[in-house]
Amino acid sequence: MKYLTKQCKLILAIIQEFGHMTAEEVYTEAVKQMPKIALGTVYRNLNELAQDGRIRKIRVPDGPDRFDKTLSPHEHIICPVCGKVLDLSVPGLDECLRKAVKTDNFDYALSVNARCSACRAAQ
């Protein structure tokens, strides 16, 4: 295990507590505990943690990347109204894709746009 700096540990703890956060959201939380932390430090540490496989980077179309504490394969539902990101499990999707793509060697990111329950209720 690589040595983690104090900033890095804090950022990891924040992701593990809240999940699915943008770098800006992580920064807002981090500043409460470490007032001198810079936004650039937050970005750098998030990317390093994602590269090390401690967190997962989720690409969001038309929005900033999110960082996820859940490393196991899963998809996401993104609410177009409030921007909330929810986990989605599609059993058999991986197998289906593998058959369609005809190789094991591929990567994909699926995000479904659908209103979250709170936004549906507010309609």
Q: Which chain residues interact with Zn ion by CB under 5 A?
A: 68, 70, 79, 81-82, 84, 87, 116, 119
Closest CB to Zn ion among residues 26, 116? 116
DSSP secondary structure code for residue 37 in this structure:
-
CB of 5 to Zn ion, least distance (A): 25
> Are the C-beta atoms of 24 and 8 separated by less than 8 Å?
no
CB of 76 to Zn ion, least distance (A): 6
Closest CB to Zn ion among residues 39, 86? 86
Nearest to 31 by CA among 43, 42, 16: 42
Closest CB to Zn ion among residues 31, 93? 93
CB of 117 to Zn ion, least distance (A): 8
Side chain identity, residue 55: I
Closest CB to Zn ion among residues 29, 68? 68
Side chain identity, residue 45: N
Cα R_g (the chain), whole angstroms: 16
Instruction: Enumerate helices (H) and strands (E) in the chain, giving the number of each.
Output: 5, 6
CB of 51 to Zn ion, least distance (A): 18
